[in-house]
């Protein structure tokens, strides 16, 4: 994201009622990080601003600027303890490939914990109702589904962002109640057709040694059973176990036995 794109993004958030988080990738690697911090401070109170970072040598380099700018820091360094305890939800298992029941699939997407507990986002292509949708669109589609970054974009109700839901959510794994992966795992689960898309784009880390092809198709009964013990939002198992996590025991999926 260029500085000009960043300015435009910030100006659409002046009356945004929530917090504003700077995420990546790794924000500290941006060549204009300090200039962007100055732009943030000129527009918003420090207590409204957060930084998501894995640290590294640039953390110390920019420490004074970070302290001046951000009221909270989500610091996640992926240390040895985290590698052994922290889990993440498989992102690259397309729900359209592994949940064949379309009605059930749509219910899972509508109840997605990311949309319910995380945030909308702006990247260098534009605005999205979901940060995961934005990342996927950037990787696979050159951002063709992005909204213009203009005043009021974030006020859209669910019925108004179904264009992005239909274009992007079926290629995502975040709404699938399934086993999570320890972050130390060296391979990434991919559903077959999504893996094919990644390889056609020439993306890295999709060689045979980098991936585990996941082609299981979930029944409704499996989905119901998995959802009872599913805590996808607890990505910090080093801080709290699944049942004490801030985001609670997964989510309530509106399907019946």
User: What totals of helices (H) and strands (E) does the chain contain, helices first?
Assistant: 12, 9
- Note whether 116 and 23 are same-domain residues: no
Mean pLDDT of 137-158: 96
Residue 244 is assigned to a structural domain of this protein: no
For the CA atoms of 184, 185, 186, 192, what is the dihedral angle to 10 degrees?
A: -150
- Note whether 33 and 113 are same-domain residues: no
Given this model, what pLDDT does residue 233 score? Answer: 83
The answer, yes or no, to whether residue 254 has pLDDT greater than 70, is no
- Note whether 215 and 107 are same-domain residues: yes
- Note whether 88 and 73 are same-domain residues: no
pTM: 0.92
| Model confidence pLDDT, tens digit, residues 201-250 | 999 999 999 999 999 999 999 999 998 888 888 888 888 777 666 555 55
Given this model, what pLDDT does residue 231 score? Answer: 87
**Percent of the chain residues topping a pLDDT of 90:** 79
Residue 254 is assigned to a structural domain of this protein: no
Given this model, what pLDDT does residue 127 score? Answer: 98
Choosing from 47, 77, 107, the residue where a domain stops is: 77
Residue 112 is assigned to a structural domain of this protein: yes
Given this model, what pLDDT does residue 116 score? Answer: 85
Residue 218 is assigned to a structural domain of this protein: yes
More confident of the two residues 46 and 83? 46
- Note whether 131 and 222 are same-domain residues: yes
25 Cβ contact list (under 8 Å, min separation 6): none
- Note whether 19 and 58 are same-domain residues: yes
User: What total number of domains does the chain contain?
Assistant: 2
Reduced 3-state DSSP string for 128-162: ECCHHHHHHHHHHHCCCCCECCCCCHHHCCHHHCH
Given this model, what pLDDT does residue 160 score? Answer: 95
| Model confidence pLDDT, tens digit, residues 41-82 | 999 999 999 999 999 999 999 999 999 999 999 998 888 998
Given this model, what pLDDT does residue 239 score? Answer: 80
- Note whether 15 and 41 are same-domain residues: yes
Mean pLDDT of 111-131: 93
Helical (H) or strand (E) element with 72: strand 72-75
Residue 250 is assigned to a structural domain of this protein: no
| Model confidence pLDDT, tens digit, residues 159-200 | 999 999 999 999 999 999 999 999 999 999 999 999 999 999
- Note whether 185 and 232 are same-domain residues: yes
Q: Which domain holds residue 8?
A: 3-77
Q: Which of the residue ranges 134-138, 156-160, 247-251 has the most confident prediction, judged by mean pLDDT?
A: 134-138
């Amino acid at each position: 994201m260029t500085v000009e794109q960043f300015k435009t993004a910030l100006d659409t958030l002046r009356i945004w009622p929530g917090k504003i988080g700077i995420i990546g990738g790794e924000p500290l690697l941006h060549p204009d990080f300090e200039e962007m911090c100055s732009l943030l401070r000129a527009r918003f109170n420090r207590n409204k601003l957060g930084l998501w970072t894995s640290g590294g040598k640039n953390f110390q380099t920019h420490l004074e600027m970070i302290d001046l700018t951000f009221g909270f820091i989500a610091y996640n360094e992926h240390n040895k303890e985290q590698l052994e305890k922290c889990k993440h939800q498989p992102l690259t298992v397309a729900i359209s490939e592994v949940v064949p029941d379309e009605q059930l699939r749509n219910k899972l997407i509508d109840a997605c914990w990311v949309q319910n507990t995380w945030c909308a986002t702006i990247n260098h292509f534009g605005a999205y109702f979901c940060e995961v949708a934005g990342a996927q669109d950037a990787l696979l589609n050159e951002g063709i589904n992005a909204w213009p970054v203009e005043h009021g974009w974030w006020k859209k109700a669910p019925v108004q962002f179904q264009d992005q839901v239909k274009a992007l959510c079926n290629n995502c794994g975040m709404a699938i109640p399934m086993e999570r992966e320890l972050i130390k795992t060296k391979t990434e689960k991919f559903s077959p057709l999504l893996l094919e898309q990644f390889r056609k784009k020439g993306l890295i880390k999709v060689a045979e040694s980098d991936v585990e092809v996941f082609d299981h198709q979930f029944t409704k009964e499996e989905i119901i059973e998995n959802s009872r013990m599913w805590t996808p939002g607890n990505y910090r198992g080093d801080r709290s176990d699944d049942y004490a996590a801030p985001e609670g025991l997964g989510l309530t999926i509106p399907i019946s036995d």
